[in-house]
Amino acid sequence: MAITYEHIKTCKQTGARLGKVHTPHGTFDTPAFMPVGTLATVKTMSPEELESMGAGMILSNTYHLWLRPGSDIVEEAGGLHKFMNWKGSILTDSGGFQVFSLSDLRKIKEEGVHFRNHISGEKLFLSPEKAMHIQNQLGADIMMAFDECPPYPAEHKYMKDSVERTSRWAERCLSAHQRPHDQGLFGIVQGGEYEDLRKQSARDLTSLDFPGYAIGGLSVGEPKDVMNRVLESTTPLLPTEKPRYLMGVGSPDSLVDGAIRGIDMFDCVLPTRIARNGTCMTSNGRLVVRNAKFARDFGPIDENCDCYTCRNYSKAYIRHLVKANETFGFRLTTYHNLYFLLKLMRQVREAIKEDRLGDFREEFFEQYGFNKPDAKNF
């Protein structure tokens, strides 16, 4: 099997899992955060930088690579790893999320989804078979089944039809997958906020025996307590000997709370996207480096951070670069934010090892400011 999960221990205080995921391109420790490289690059970062800050697996987007430069070109280059010179593990999504969120004029049918290219307007069609073919061409270590990700909120009737279609699509994905020996295909549990549908989806998908499972359809605008409730009822339905991936979640509080609910893998564009807007995650909470009050602040973004950015550059300098739209400014904030989340996951793993993730959560939330009544969600 291309992907295997090795369980090391469960935190006695919280039930969080410490483990390792083995892939054809190495092993990474879990719970893990995966930086997102939409177009086969984590914007402004080199692969060497990502490796040096401890990223074991990165994510890339099937939909975007299919349109630009074209999955046949990536295949010709020898696959995504070679094309982008990344030696670690890669996960590609199925393209479904982008089709449902980026394109209008889409028509969902049993055979697949008809929609328009968000760049050229050209008519396109994506199906389970097509999504598998593209992902086989890209050659990531983990690929995702083609699913529908309905918006929040969605009516129960709609969600039930959607979950059932996603299960039928999952079977078609398994049959169409050409490289199970070196690419692990994960199933995606959907069902929105409805416990009965999450159960139905988990039952359908676990019966298909995927090497790993994702929980999709969260972080789509629902309140945090809904996400936590769904996780609490869904993760126990997934096999303990396989990795569990919570899609699209990357705010610091959700990473800790997701780990506590038994999640092993996370991805999100949040740290890199907000970095390009001059917003940083720090041990004392969110910091907007563009703010005028930092014009003469010659201290680092985070005095508790030992990343390249914080060891060498001041808030005043970074503020100046970001305001002047200098690429180097975005590189510095991106480096810091990714380092911050990867370090947070190291701290989470350490805390699981010592059976004190609950205590760590309390300390971290207090210092970050998540316990304040007016706390922002990142």
Which spans of this chain sit near Zn ion (rule: CB under 5 A)?
Answer: 305, 307, 309-310, 336
Report the binding-site residues: 93-97, 147, 190, 217, 305, 307, 310, 336
Q: Is residue 297 among the annotated active site residues? A: no
Q: Which is nearer to Zn ion, 284 or 371 (CB)?
A: 284
Q: Which is nearer to Zn ion, 166 or 309 (CB)?
A: 309
Q: How far apart are CA 378 and CA 376, in angstroms?
A: 6
Backbone angles phi, psi at 22, to 5 degrees: -100, 130
- DSSP annotation of 148 reads -
Report in angstroms the alpha-carbon separations of 65 from 50, 75, 241, 296, 325.
Answer: 20, 11, 32, 42, 26
Report in angstroms the alpha-carbon separations of 370 from 165, 254, 256, 366, 373.
Answer: 38, 11, 12, 6, 8
Q: Which is nearer to Zn ion, 155 or 303 (CB)?
A: 303
Report the binding-site residues for Zn(2+): 305, 307, 310, 336
Q: How far is the CB of 307 from Zn ion (least distance, A)?
A: 3
The one catalytic residue among 141, 257, 267, 302: 267
Q: How far apart are CA 345 and CA 327, in angstroms?
A: 27
Q: How far is the CB of 271 from Zn ion (least distance, A)?
A: 12
Q: How far apart are CA 263 and CA 271, in angstroms?
A: 19
Q: Which is nearer to Zn ion, 245 or 378 (CB)?
A: 378
The one catalytic residue among 72, 93, 182, 196: 93
Q: Is residue 267 among the annotated active site residues? A: yes
Please name which of 75, 71, 96, 92 lies closest in space to residue 141, comparing C-alpha atoms. Answer: 92
Rg (CA), the chain: 20
Q: How far apart are CA 13 and CA 333, in angstroms?
A: 34
Report the binding-site residues for substrate: 93-97, 147, 190, 217
Q: Is 119 helix (H, G, I), strand (E, B) or coil?
A: coil
Structure tokens at 121: 């307007």
Residue 35, preceding peptide bond in cis (omega within 30° of 0): no
| Residue 188 identity (one-letter amino acid) | I
Q: How far is the CB of 114 from Zn ion (least distance, A)?
A: 45
The DSSP bridge partners found for residue 185 are: 143
Q: How far is the CB of 245 from Zn ion (least distance, A)?
A: 26
Q: Are 273 and 333 in contact (CB under 8 A)?
A: no
| Kind of pairing between the strands at 265-267 and 279-282 | unpaired
Q: Which is nearer to Zn ion, 65 or 305 (CB)?
A: 305
Q: How far is the CB of 227 from Zn ion (least distance, A)?
A: 28
Burial of 307 (0-12, 13-18, 19+ CB in 10 A): buried
Q: Which is nearer to Zn ion, 3 or 310 (CB)?
A: 310
Instruction: Give the active site residues.
Output: 93, 267
